């Protein structure tokens, strides 16, 4: 796949839809194409994060480790971005990502990603939207879990 095809792919993603093509081309040039085989680990929870990945093709599962037992919390598909939280908040990786199918990604280094957000408010807004969406989802899941716990805590009649 050539640089210009990658640009086309990126333009279709909500995150980069509003970025002008020459900038996208530059981003692609400055990033690295990385391919993962099915089952290969993309990110590992707890490790330091130095890059975010835009999924170009394939899908990956996101796991969170709870007391030694990984729980699958989400699945990421093409056009999504993963690993951006560790870069934005300077924290270790918050989850483990494992490729489900052969996975084609664009690896964007930390500095490049931060610069992109600085220069393109559209990208920043998209990142916020994505993060906010996750918070909403998590909130919903949390209340569901709470309800279930309350329900399970009461003695069965």
Partner 1 sequence: MDEATSGGRRNGSGGALQASLMRYIWTHSRPQQIWILLVVVVSLPTYFLSLDLPKQIVNGPILGKGFEHADAHTTWLRIAIDVPHALDPSGTLVLFPGFELDRYGALFALSAMFLLLVVINGLFKYYINTYKGRLGEDMLRRLRFELIDRVLRFPHAQFKRVKASEISTMVQEEVEPLGGFIGDAFVQPMFLGGQALTAMVFILVQSVWLGGLAAAIIAVQFLVIPRLRRRLLVLGKERQISARANAGRVGELVEGIAAVHVNDTSNYERANADARLWRIFEIRYEIYQRKFFVKFLNNFLAQLTPFLFYAVGGWFALEGRLDVGQLVAVIGAYKDLPSPIKELIDWDQQRLDVEVKYDQVAEQFSVDEMLPPERQALVSAPVPPLAAPIRVNGLSVNDDSGATLLERVSLEFAPGERVAIVGAVGSGGEVLAEVLAGLMRPSGGRVCIGDTPLGELPQAVTGRRLAYAGAETFLPEGTLRDALYYVLKHAPLRPPPEADAAASRTNPGHLDPRADWVDYASAGASGPADLLDQTRRVLNLVSLREDVIGLGLRGEIDPDAQPALAAAVIELRCELRRRLRASGESGLVETFDPERYCRQATLVENLLFGTPVGPAFAPAGLAGNAFLREVLADTGVDRALFEMGRELAGTLIELFKDLPPDHPFFEQLSFMDAEQIPEYRGMLARLGDFATAEADDRRRLIRLTLAYIEPRHRLGLLDEALMARLVEARTRLHQGLPERLRGSIEFYDPDRYNRAATLQDNILLGRVAHGAAGGTERVVGLILHLIEEFGLQDAVLDVGLDFNVGSGGKRLSVVQRQKLVVARALLKRPDYAIFNRPLSALDPVGQREIVERLLAAAAGSEGPPFAAVCVLSNAQLAHAFDRVVVFERGQVVAQGAPDELARTAAVYAALAG
Which parts of this chain interact with partner 1 (CB under 8 A)?
A: 1-4, 6, 22, 25-26, 28-30, 32-37, 40, 42, 109, 111-112, 115
d(CA 126, CA 116) in angstroms, rounded, equals 12
Q: What is the C-alpha to C-alpha distance for residues 149 and 35, in angstroms, rounded to an integer?
A: 41
Nearer to partner 1, 13 or 31 (CB): 31
Query: What CA–CA distance (Å, rounded) separates 56 from 33?
Result: 10
Closest approach of partner 1 to the CB of residue 68, in Å: 18
Residue 56 or 86 with smaller CB distance to partner 1: 56
Q: What are the structure tokens assigned to 30, written together?
A: 């400055």
CB-wise, 1 or 147, nearer to partner 1? 1
Quick count: other Cβ atoms within 10 Å of Cβ 88?
A: 15
Q: Find the shortest distance in angstroms from Cβ 127 to partner 1.
A: 18
List the Cα angle 99/21/11 in 5-degree steps: 40
Shortest CB 93 distance to partner 1, Å: 15
């Amino acid at each position: 796949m050539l640089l210009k095809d990658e640009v086309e792919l990126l333009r279709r993603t909500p995150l980069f839809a509003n970025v002008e093509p020459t900038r996208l081309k530059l981003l692609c040039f400055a990033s690295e194409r990385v391919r993962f085989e099915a089952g290969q680990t993309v990110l590992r929870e707890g490790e330091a994060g130095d890059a975010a990945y835009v999924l170009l093709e394939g899908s990956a599962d996101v796991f969170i480790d709870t007391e030694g037992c990984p729980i699958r919390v989400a699945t990421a598909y093409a056009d999504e971005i993963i690993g951006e939280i560790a870069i934005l908040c300077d924290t270790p990786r918050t989850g483990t990502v494992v490729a489900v199918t052969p996975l084609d990604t664009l690896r964007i280094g930390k500095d490049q990603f931060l610069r992109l957000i600085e220069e393109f408010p559209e990208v920043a807004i998209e990142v916020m939207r994505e993060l906010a969406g996750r918070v909403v989802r998590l909130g919903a899941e949390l209340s569901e879990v709470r309800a279930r716990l309350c329900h399970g805590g009461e003695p069965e009649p």
